[in-house]
A and B are shown apart, each in its own frame.
Chain A
């Protein structure tokens, strides 16, 4: 087997005025022809920097490189780090291609997708328009886009997320690259779509005998397709081995932690293990393994009663789909279609579905953040849509929401302490600001942050920390009902476990009722008592979580479960 790419002693640092940040620290690995190498790590581990360095896509300065990246082509060795820009141009897209995470933004919205692919073919292969079009349609067939010659003329907004990613793959494959770099290509996609895309990448790789570098934060995603796995942590490679070996016999504590912090088959009431259970990192970044001392203690769940806290009756939410010339809406899409359910006090209800199924709209409607077109919602027996405006506002302190994106759910210009304190001031809770501040300090402690974080701004925190701040803010009002809308979806698997543990802890302590919205069945199963599965605005199945998870009644749920990425062996 021929070595395709060799990374030797690669270090990358980012120079700013005041400091050098080491992004990659002396990493070594190689990729063979016809091999899928997965690079796994949490955000900030340097996995994307590695990919961008190979293609020399990092602006330099600020990036400073050391080491060698040797790309072998026809037995000729090229050091990509010292290659001039003409040579790089002929390699980029031609010999080495890349697929990005966000298919929504990587396509030009004003050109049809076929022309975009054909353009890159003409650029690299110097063929005429007709040949490029034929080749594009052939590629669209290869990536299994429906009706290739018809799809050719479509614009990006007319395609689904998965289809757009297929177009991106077609574009990357257009010049039959020797090496394909995939940077989290499925993270933004639904599980059912993810499964198909993974299979497609694997098929294309085998057909063309390409080398593939697959970057992800989730080991399970690559478990089925990778030949070799490289685990990265804070700019270093902590472990690399064959996929089988890594998955069944991990050596490094961080790998072990990554493998076991997934909620997939974890017993329900037990705390999820997190990275810090496996290892300690001292100030110099030296990792020492810990004796595994996972607090396996059962977590009590809040007592459930038979009182109905919230009741939704025949909720429908319509979105205008088409407008007539005069601006009158002539057709609607039903985002939520005649949904009724009840939540008992103390219960956690999981709401699962793929993107666009209406789960977020339903969550917002339950909190009266938007009005349903039909139906009513009773919270503690009161119809929330019949309440006068000021009473509804007073009621809001009893029902809270924790959002998906911790980056946009906090005001960037507001100190986090003030953000948590603001709802207390608005609702005149406690007597004075001194007491409120004490309460905020207490809350920060509850979500494992430090009192000095009070005076920091959101951009100084990591995603996981921000999500904890958002949780502290929602809890400040001591609500009896909380909607968690994809609250862990934007987080790395390792951080996700921490936040899930935190939610479980505070649920016990504050005893609130919750709706937990997620696209990830395994997370929902772990955290909720009851699951409702939603598809196209309707509830297709609901029942106790273990029953839905292990013995699904509807074919849609079965399909969801089958598509979930699984670690080999589990």
Chain B
């Protein structure tokens, strides 16, 4: 058993040497952690990071303000820890920004913030307020046009990007491996049909195809995953087909046939494990392109629907500020996409180099 470890650990050792790949891996692990605990980490832990405070819209990064927490009408449902982790909790308060305030016995008198330099004196009964009536909030990356915290939306938005990558890769790998292996192993008639199908899919521009699929499945979160997955299997299928075709010529495959192994066993036990390397590499790069495609679709409005935060959607909502006073609103999600995509591509390259012993081993 020690040798299994040796084989894998030498791959790991080679991977470790590649600084860029390790940096990419660190970024990916960080973003996974951020995505999983998004609602606990984000300053705004409401569902979809959707705390709207219209008065403080379009603020620059580092902006800070006092907020009065006013209870919402109706009873607040109880949340389990798990549901908070998964989808956050509905905000129990509405927020009123204020400039200064003073407390009396049973009410609070405050100067309501309306705009830079404009305020309006109001008072409110303490009964309507939360236990901690006034909080001081700092918006590290500023706010968008609804006064929502950009940082929180950015953190919650990681979920969409990672999910779309993961699910699209799983779907495309499943279809790609299945069809690619069938075509490469059986050749002939099966190969002709599959290749014909692949060539047709390939001839349709990706975005157009995703549009068509979302038209059938409807707009939304899950539909996007499936649509992206359904367009990306083509590359994988072609790659797998080529690899299977060259491996099939190896004598150990023939030896398997001579020993009466079934085709299923030969493909799954002897061919697929031997093409893991290239598959891992293409999976990593597909992960990256899925993120880009999702961002593009959300930008065009066929992707993730508001109020759910997605990086592409955030760019769409804020891109017209790029030339006005607050370009950061759109640039920040853009940078986030770039960093994550870069991270996956670097890991992909690192994997390719680390797994490159295959030729030596064969």
Contacts and interface: CB of A to CB of B under 8 A. Distances in A.
Contact of B255 (A399, A407, A409, A456): A409
Interface in B248-295: 250-252, 254-255, 257-262, 265, 269-270, 273-274
Interface stretch (A72-80, A309-317, A422-430): A422-430
B294 to A, nearest CB: 34
A414 interface: yes
A393 B262 contact: yes
Given A405-B251, A408-B250, A459 B260 contact: no
A456 B2 CA distance: 9
A134 to B, nearest CB: 41
B337 to A, nearest CB: 36
A310 to B, nearest CB: 15
Given A413-B273, A456-B3, A426 B261 contact: yes
A412 B362 contact: yes
Contacts of A281: none
A414 B271 CA distance: 11
B208 interface: no
Interface string A269-285: 00000000000000000
A414 B265 CA distance: 13
A145 interface: no
A399 B273 CA distance: 27
A139 B22 CA distance: 55
A397 B7 contact: no
Contacts of A405: 251
A396 B358 CA distance: 30
Q: Which of B7, B259, B261 has the most A CB atoms < 10 Å from its CB?
A: B259
A369 B258 contact: yes
A91 B349 CA distance: 39
A473 interface: yes
B78 interface: no
Given A412-B361, A456-B3, A369 B257 contact: yes
A403 interface: yes
Interface string A367-407: 10100000000000000000000000111110111011101
B1 interface: yes
Contact of A403 (B254, B274, B362): B254
A473 B258 contact: no
Given A405-B251, A413-B274, A455-B3, A477 B259 contact: yes
Nearest to B274: A413
A463 to B, nearest CB: 14
Contact of B265 (A397, A400, A426, A470): A426
B260 A426 contact: yes
Given A408-B362, A411-B274, A457-B3, A393 B260 contact: yes
A409 B3 contact: no
Interface in B1-43: 1-4, 7
B251 A397 contact: no
A180 interface: no
A397 B250 CA distance: 20
A403 B252 CA distance: 9
Contacts of B2: 455
Contacts of B259: 396-397, 400, 422-423, 426, 473, 477
A399 B250 CA distance: 20
A408 B253 CA distance: 9
A460 B3 contact: yes
A410 interface: yes
A369 B254 contact: yes
A459 B361 contact: yes
Interface in B347-362: 358, 360-362
Q: Among the interface residues B4, B251, B258, which one has the most CB atoms of the partner chain A within 10 A?
A: B258
Contacts of A470: 255
A363 B254 CA distance: 13
Of the four ranges (under 10, 10 to 19, 20 to 34, 35 or more), the interface on chain A belongs to 20 to 34
B255 A412 contact: no
Contact of A414 (B251, B254, B260, B270): B270
B270 A411 contact: yes
Nearest to B357: A459
Nearest to B7: A457
A400 B251 contact: no
A328 to B, nearest CB: 15
A422 B261 contact: yes
Interface in A80-114: none
| Most chain A C-beta atoms within 10 Å of own C-beta, residue among B250, B252, B257, B273 | B252
Contacts of A395: 260
A414 B2 CA distance: 14
Contact of A473 (B3, B255, B362): B255
Q: Which of A413, A427, A470 has the most CB of B within 10 A?
A: A413
Nearest to B249: A408
A403 B255 contact: yes
A323 to B, nearest CB: 15
A396 B258 contact: yes
Nearest to B1: A455
A81 to B, nearest CB: 28
A400 B258 contact: yes
Given A413-B274, A455-B3, A408 B258 contact: no
B3 A427 contact: no
A319 to B, nearest CB: 15
A399 B260 CA distance: 10
Contacts of B252: 408-411
Interface in B180-195: none
Contacts of A411: 252, 270, 273-274
B12 to A, nearest CB: 14
Nearest to B253: A411
Given A412-B274, A413-B274, A401 B1 contact: no
Contacts of A456: 3
A62 to B, nearest CB: 14
Contacts of B360: 459
B359 to A, nearest CB: 10
Interface in A453-504: 455-457, 459-460, 470, 473, 477
Contacts of A457: 3, 7, 361
B251 to A, nearest CB: 4
A369 B256 CA distance: 11
Nearest to A393: B260
A470 to B, nearest CB: 7
A477 to B, nearest CB: 7
Interface hub of B1, B254, B260, B274 (most chain A Cβ within 10 A): B260
B251 A394 contact: no
Contacts of A396: 257-260
B200 to A, nearest CB: 20
A427 B260 contact: yes
Contacts of A400: 258-259
Contact of B251 (A393, A408, A455): A408
Nearest to B258: A401
A400 B254 CA distance: 11
Contacts of A477: 259
Given A410-B255, A470-B255, 6 more contacts: A393-B262, A403-B254, A411-B252, A426-B261, A457-B7, A477-B259
User: What are the 7 A-B residue pairs with the smallest beta carbon separation, nearest first?
Assistant: A396-B260, A409-B251, A423-B259, A393-B260, A403-B251, A412-B361, A413-B273
5 contacts: A409-B251, A415-B3, A422-B261, A423-B259, A457-B7
Interface of A: 367, 369, 393-397, 399-401, 403-405, 407-415, 422-423, 426-427, 455-457, 459-460, 470, 473, 477
